[in-house]
Structure 1
Amino acid sequence: MVTLLLGIHNHQPVGNFGDVLEKAYRLSYRPFLDVLERHPAIALSLHCSGILYEWLEAAHPDYLDRLAALARQGRLELLGGGFYEPIIAALPEKDQQGQIARMRGYLKRRFQVDAKGFWLAERVWEPQLPKILAKAGAEYTIVDDTHFLAVGFAEAELQGHFLTESEGQAIRVFPISQRLRYLMPYADPRQVIDHLRAAGEAAKGRDVALVMADDGEKFGLWPRTHELVYERGWLDRFFTLCAENAAWLKTATFSRQLTERPPLGWAYLPTTSYSELSEWALRADPSRELSRVLHQSTADTRRFIRGGYFRNFLTKYPEANRLYRKMLRVSGRVHALEPRGRRKASPQLDAALGYLWKGQCNCAYWHGVFGGLYLPHLRHAIYENLLRAEVEVERSRPASAGPLAPFAVEQEDWDGDGVPEVLVESPKANWYLTRKGGGLWEWDVKARAVNLGGVVSRRLEAYHEKLRAAAAGEGSAAASIHDAARAKQPGLDKELFYDWHGRMSLLDHFLHPDTRRETFASTQYGEQGDFVLEEYRLTPPKRDDGDLVLAFEREGTVWAHSRAVPVLVRKDVRLLAGGGWRCDYAVENRGQDAAELWFGAEVALALSTPAVCPPGEETGVALKTLRDDNLGLSVRLRMDGPLDLWSFPLYTISQSEEGFERTYQGSVLLLHRRLSLAAGSAARFTVAAEAEIFSAEQPAQKSSRAALGSSSPTG
């Protein structure tokens, strides 16, 4: 007998738009359930993320009632997991257990189900997971067959489930067949049945179990799949064929399989995920090299070749690392609220935990075939929830402790780069600054729970080669969604520009005399100084007239007319009690001769739409106001100089399931001035920024897909 174990995983990211969720429901989730209900012989397992459950409770509670009915009939097993779809292995222990307990509690209350199975987000496996899952009450999980193949199992051996353990705590593990994952739903249903029959015949009388577990969105939401799966009847035909071959083929839930068949043995799995993610987690050049090696390898050797794993995304994308470190910081602060002894948890703690766990949704921390990190509305949602968790922590402060300090300052190596950063928090804002370049990479406006510094830099991705080849008329048709090289608009290959430094505010540029706004925006200009990437000295922060002043200073070199000019840049960054900042600059020529220099201070803002800051050039600017209706605030830039201004939108070209797309990440403003400095003289000027929150008479508009610059349907 051949047992087919089907696992369907439905998920939408925290922060995704309501119309996207509705589309997924209409094209995928509901029609799949419609077909399943028509085939009483079919049993399968389903996982929905907590984000989706919360949306369905409000928008389509009848769908959940239908799931409950199938669960009572034994035809549907509901799987547990981390409630807000985190990468469990990357969380602090208290959050691991809390996220899992929240999902188990919800399934028990809503469906009267004691979930035994655990859906592992992105199938990210690390060897310590058995202990974590067993402690949380999970009996089994599902991972890819690549996990097993990498440690020497043959594909023919992966026809059931296995035991694994950590520190003696054991769970069961089912391997997902990559062949089935790629066949369904793209191959003819009869071809899938033939594959299952061949596996049964090769077993020579032994019972075998094969697993197909994958995203539910591939059954209707992914490009062209709704027509294939429902309009052309793929799913109906497949379920019918399963029933017609019941003499040798059956479907079952994972839990039923555990009760009917013993484990096949022990398996100790490596740190890995599905094969595609191991390529995505690498930087562009290694990823292309891995792809080349895989294509040149044989089937016998390919299974031993692995690339990166999930945590590599934290080195590939510094923005993801900062987001992750922010999450860890907030987690520590939230759990510090937990009561001791028999005291009850406060409402602030409950609220803070909810926000924190939403802020751990994995989608915005990485990027593969879907938008992920490159989708600003997903990053904004993570920051929003983490900031709201911080606010709840501050609200929980007992009255006996007195008011919050105007500024809390920490100097620590927060992002793990070996250089201490400066983290400043106040009741109205947070400012995170780095000594490398003296830049400001996070500026949190607490009243709107928004990080105005949350931009993503433009960087080379391995798949950009496919875009260039497609534009040149090269290449062949894609074999799957992972290989797609379609472009959602023409000419994207002409917009592949790459930033040589992280985009943040208060970076100090010295421009070549031939620089134009267009060349600066496309990074095709001459940077004459060595200040952007190098470390600044920082004197101890000091209070001044109610504000906090951080004095950054660096003596470096600027190339001017073929000679090296020693230049001292001093900038006193004044963090304002009202939540804004001001930077007082002094640029001093420390050479023996006069020098002609062109200085520019960069400001990078994570605005919601390029319309807030249209591209252009202005001269003699003293005030620039950027009103963002979607964020509910205006950013006011004041220049005491005045200064000239260049502004341009920052677009990334990234891969999505619908093809390559251009996504707005924020706007860059360069406040610049040409300087004629005699030996030993200095130029002084000021750049200041404040965020003005709209009043009740000026309500912010609701965000929309168009406003936030993305059209990708899923994370």
Structure 2
Amino acid sequence: MKKVKLIFGTNNSQPLGARDDEIEESYQTCYKPFLKTLYNFPEVALTLHFSGVLLQWLEKKHSEFIDVLSEMASRRQVELLGGAFYDPVLALIPRQDRLGQIERMTTFLRKQFGRRPRGAWVTEYVWEPTFASTYSTSGIDYIFLDDHHFTAGGLSGGDMYRPCLTEDQGRILTVFPVCNVLRSGAPRISPDDVIEKLRSAATERGDRVVSLMIEGESLDGRNGHDGCYDQSWLTEILTKIRDNSEWLQPVLPPRYLRSFVPRRRTYFPTTSYAAMQSWAEPYGMNPKSKSSKQCKPVPSGFFRHFLVKYPESNLMYAKMQYTHVLVNQVRGDKYRKLAAREELWRGQCHHAYWHGRPGGIYRNALRKSVYSSLIEAEKVTRERGIFIPSVIAIDFDMDGVQEYLYQGHDMNAYVHSEGGALFELDYLPISWNFLDTMARHPEPYHTEDVGALGYDTYRRSAFIDHFFEKDATIADFDVMKYREAGGFLDTRYTVTDYKRENREVALTASSFVEHDSRRDPVEIAKKYSFKKGGLSVAYTITNRSENALFTVFGSEINLSAVSREVDVLRLYVAKGEAETEIGPTRTSETDVDAVRFLDLNTKTTIALKFSVPAELWSLPVETVYRTSDGLGTEYQSSCLLPRWSLAIEPGASWRATVDVRIERV
């Protein structure tokens, strides 16, 4: 009789930063009913993976689930997979952290369930050839990869139903293929069709194995189907597996490998599943485009391309890499280093670094949680009584040019040479980056209506230098239909004065400003001065032409809260002694002396004070992205844009200062 083996199970993960009620919903609709159903089918072997974030939540909120899981593991019905504890994509994190996170998960599972895992889950199937030695060195014998990898590795036919070997630096690793058709189709594929697919793989020798590893969260009915539990999909398919046991044999991976030793070896290229490659394709954006259809994809994307596609992802990645260096410089205090490393690893959770499935990097709260963990790790590395505030020069974001990082007792502030902008503002008492913003990027699934809302052509940071035409409106700026009259947005500023101990950075840039059908040379000098609880930016704009300069200058400042709801965010403007609330909606005010950004969530206020009264444009920055229920809109930051009308004679200069104060309320 023709037979086939079946490895059946789920991988289950929750992002760092997910709300308790969100995880609780997944528990009640996915994890709990799944395990409850499987408990009544003890003859069906089950292979499961739970991320460390989820395991910690289950241990705290539903210890009874852990107890049942432990019982099923002890009776050899369940095989628990290891992996990197905080669910990072290994391609993004240093090798030392890869090994550490895998060992962290191994230790947790051994202590909790009494057995060391022999297999591991590869996050999002993101693979690079060097991972073979990483897993093997960590004591892992086998992993699972999408069958797309097997095709990319040159395998076909019967080899798509057998594990194979791969190798790196002499280290051997066994790889099981996961059937993509069944994985991505469940539970939309009927149980009868699943059984027929399995039957088609059966052979007289009986050495073939089909791995059906389903994403656990997909079984709750939120992805275009009715859900497997309401429709008894899981019960029906388990019953059919049991009733066809004469030819369909559920098996745990270690037991299969004891009977059938892999003989074929191959090398898998850097890849993931096919959809991931499509999502990672970078786009070259036409600044005047109104629709993502005008964006041409670069073929053959792979996961690291997300760092190119989304500059915000690259900044998180850079922060994580920099924090890794700081953590590994800690000496002589084992417990401080362990505490810092744990926060670093938490900040490596993959969900906030990319976008493909619903949410990802567009989810404000997920990015905030990553930054919070990384800032916490950095704080732990600082030795009390020894740390001295200063400005350091380092190529932080790996673009080949130095950035200037102020690190103080209560604040970090990072200056980029591109545009001379401030791109990170960490308030250390609450471990919060107020410049964790997100620009409006074109996406392939955007409609014409979404494109009409506008796409940003630059990062939403702070002290971005604009020149406007006289008739520019806030409405046109909101949808990026205005015309930039200056050439400073992407100009590299030159550092003219850098005082490490005095905590100052001075920059200059020369470009042009268009007005009256002319392009006149203009120079901007801006000086950042950092102090406890704030900073100041002093502007000097010099007219280098032979003609009088008449233009409008603006310094764009984006500040991010977790929401713009009234119970989270309040905005106020001051005119003289009078302060008025303006709210986070789009508005324009004249003769403004100061702005106050009140974040009720973190109980923090940021006050901006202008030495020269300004016209203020204030507007929310919101992105449209894919969710489980279709397209959704999410607040990312509040854009505060003070504007000044300038009239500068040839060779003359205009000066103004913006003071920033941050404090708890």
Which of 478, 481, 495 aligns to 1:524? It is: 481
5 Å-filtered alignment, 1:499-578, equals 499-542=456-499, 548-576=503-531, 578=532
CA apart distance, 1:256: 1.8
Which of 52, 55, 68 aligns to 1:53? It is: 55
CA apart distance, 1:224: 5.1
Q: Which has a greater percent of strand?
A: 2
1:473 corresponds to which residue? none
Cα distance between partner residues in 2 of 1:174 and 1:619: 65
Cα distance between partner residues in 2 of 1:139 and 1:121: 16
State the percentage of identical aligned residues: 34
Cα distance between partner residues in 2 of 1:306 and 1:626: 43
CA apart distance, 1:285: 6.4
8 Å Cα contact 1:434/1:441 also seen in 2: yes
What are the superposed Cα offsets for residues 52-93 of structure 1, whole Å, 9 maximum, x if unpaired?
A: 011111100000000000001111001001000011233212
How many pairs are equivalent?
A: 639
CA apart distance, 1:499: 0.5
8 Å Cα contact 1:285/1:462 also seen in 2: no
2:306 corresponds to which residue? 313
2:42 corresponds to which residue? 40
SS in 2 for 1:22: helix
5 Å-filtered alignment, 1:422-437, equals 422-437=404-419
What are the superposed Cα offsets for residues 218-250 of structure 1, whole Å, 9 maximum, x if unpaired?
A: 11163355x430111100000000011111001
Cα distance between partner residues in 1 of 2:209 and 2:312: 42
1:597 aligns to 2:551 (yes or no) = yes
SS in 1 for 2:220: coil
AA in 2 matched with 1:444: D
What are the superposed Cα offsets for residues 31-52 of structure 1, whole Å, 9 maximum, x if unpaired?
A: 1011101112211110000000
Extract structure 1 runs of 4+ deviating beyond 4 A.
none
Cα distance between partner residues in 2 of 1:349 and 1:542: 30
Q: TM-score, structure 1 length as denominator?
A: 0.87
Cα distance between partner residues in 1 of 2:518 and 2:617: 27
AA in 2 matched with 1:600: G
8 Å Cα contact 2:455/2:480 also seen in 1: yes
CA apart distance, 1:338: 4.9
Which of 92, 100, 114 aligns to 2:116? It is: 114
Cα distance between partner residues in 1 of 2:182 and 2:146: 11
Which of 407, 429, 434 aligns to 1:447? It is: 429
8 Å Cα contact 2:92/2:317 also seen in 1: no
SS in 2 for 1:539: strand
8 Å Cα contact 1:9/1:47 also seen in 2: yes
Cα distance between partner residues in 2 of 1:107 and 1:620: 62
1:628 corresponds to which residue? 599
Q: TM-score, structure 2 length as denominator?
A: 0.93
1:699 corresponds to which residue? none
Which of 654, 663, 673 aligns to 2:625? It is: 654
SS in 1 for 2:605: strand
1:172 aligns to 2:165 (yes or no) = no
1:369 corresponds to which residue? 357
AA in 1 matched with 2:393: Q
AA in 2 matched with 1:181: R
Which of 411, 419, 439 aligns to 2:393? It is: 411
8 Å Cα contact 2:322/2:396 also seen in 1: no
Which of 425, 428, 440 aligns to 1:458? It is: 440
1:610 aligns to 2:564 (yes or no) = yes
CA change 1:224–1:563 in 2 (3 A) is closer
CA change 1:178–1:338 in 2 (3 A) is farther
Which of 8, 20, 29 aligns to 1:6? It is: 8
Cα distance between partner residues in 1 of 2:527 and 2:405: 16
> Unaligned stretches of 5+ in structure 1?
294-304, 340-344, 469-491, 695-715
CA apart distance, 1:158: 1.2
Cα distance between partner residues in 2 of 1:222 and 1:156: 35
1:209 corresponds to which residue? 209
AA in 1 matched with 2:241: C
5 Å-filtered alignment, 1:643-682, equals 643-682=614-653
Cα distance between partner residues in 2 of 1:3 and 1:668: 58
Cα distance between partner residues in 2 of 1:591 and 1:284: 38
CA apart distance, 1:495: 5.4
Which of 333, 336, 348 aligns to 1:348? It is: 336
CA apart distance, 1:315: 0.9
8 Å Cα contact 2:327/2:340 also seen in 1: yes
> Unaligned stretches of 5+ in structure 2?
286-291, 572-583
Cα distance between partner residues in 2 of 1:527 and 1:547: 35
- Larger CA deviation: 678-687 vs 240-249: 678-687
CA apart distance, 1:633: 0.4
Cα distance between partner residues in 2 of 1:221 and 1:462: 25
CA apart distance, 1:656: 2.0
1:686 corresponds to which residue? 657
Which of 540, 555, 567 aligns to 1:586? It is: 540
Cα distance between partner residues in 1 of 2:115 and 2:510: 65
8 Å Cα contact 1:495/1:653 also seen in 2: no
